Amino acid sequence: MGSLMKCALVTGCAGFIGSHLTRSLLDDGVEVFGVDCFNDNYARADKLRNLRPLGDWDGFEFVPLDLARGELDEIVADCDAIFHLAAEPGVRPSWGRRFDSYLRNNVLATQHLLEAAAAHPVARFVFASSSSIYGQAERFPTSEGAVPRPWSPYGLTKLSAEHLCQLYHINLGLPVVALRYFSVYGPRQRPDMAFNIFCRAALAGEPIEVFGDGHQTRDFTYVGDVVAATRAAGATPGIDGEVYNVGGGSQVSLNETIALIEDITGTELEVVHQAKERGDVRDTGADTTKARSELGFEASTGLEQGLAAEFEWLASRSARVPA
């Protein structure tokens, strides 16, 4: 993949998935312009920690930039491919007063970047969408042909950005590919996400909160598999305008994942159940037939292996923090 792509733009390069993708591209000799505006959805220090090792590569240039209003022409003009991962994430915080941040960072920023990409043609524009666009799907596993019915403002803004990408493809010929990520986890996962919270609770001997009865299921996808699918979407010819599910390959209940974390950590977690939160769907499950057929993508990391990797990462961070 790297031999065909000389330079890539990665937005959200200091984030969870973006930092992994940037590292993968750099490892293969691809020059990377990394963009991040350090929005306040979680601690700036965590994002700087993700970003710091990337400076070891001569081929990496970091541009602190707000995509919704920054000047993009110069960095887009020099790139073969754009991987647009920057976003305002999270279902639960997307209600109420923060909705303007979701509109700005998920819709307006995407439109601004699409305009720049259309003015300076690139070989591929890969947009990181979300399984949240489906809402509570009627059928599992859910294929890309399912009618999107978002259950949260977050899902609505990701679907809106997807539609924008399609508009620029249809009207201007922009070579866009959208990837619908399903419940990504692994080292560097955001601190507001369940596995990060549960693993930290196991380390600290603290209780965890579960919203609902814990029988809700998710298609958990390891970050390394997500990077592989994203790289494939950036390099595979003949897929302009397509949309692909990127999932881990199985539906697992939250209760089952808690039991796995207990086995991995050797700690029994005290679970405090809270009422189900608005926007949280009961189940998700990806039909990845299309990605397997057209991208050659198949998840290779099992949940137990991936959870162990995330726990080891958090444990090593905890060990480095002074008492």
List residues with catalytic annotation.
154
Which pair of structure tokens corresponds to residue 317?
Answer: 């961070």
Give one DSSP letter per residue of 46-97, joined into a string: HHHHHHGGGGG-TTEEEEE--TTTS--HHHHHT-SEEEE------SGGGSGG
SS3 label, residue 74: helix
Q: What angle do CA 22, 234, 87 make, to 5 degrees?
A: 55
Q: Spell out where 3-151 has E strands.
A: 7-11, 31-36, 60-64, 81-84, 124-130
Helix and strand element counts for the chain (H, E)? 11, 13
What is the Cα–Cα distance from 128 to 83, expressed in whole angstroms? 8
Q: Six-digit token pair at 203?
A: 């380390």
Angle between helix 44-51 and helix 16-27 axes, rounded to 10 deg: 10
Does residue 245 contact residue 209 with C-beta atoms inside 8 Å? no
DSSP 213: -
At 253, give phi and psi (nearest 5°). -75, 155
- Distance between CA atoms of residues 85 and 82, nearest Å: 9
- Sequence letter at residue 104: R
* Look-up of token digits 């249809």: 170
* Cβ atoms of residues 176 and 127 within 8 Å: yes
Of 17, 301, 302, 294, residue with least CA distance to 144: 294
Beta strand pairing call for 81-84 and 7-11: parallel
At residue 262, what is the residue type? Answer: E
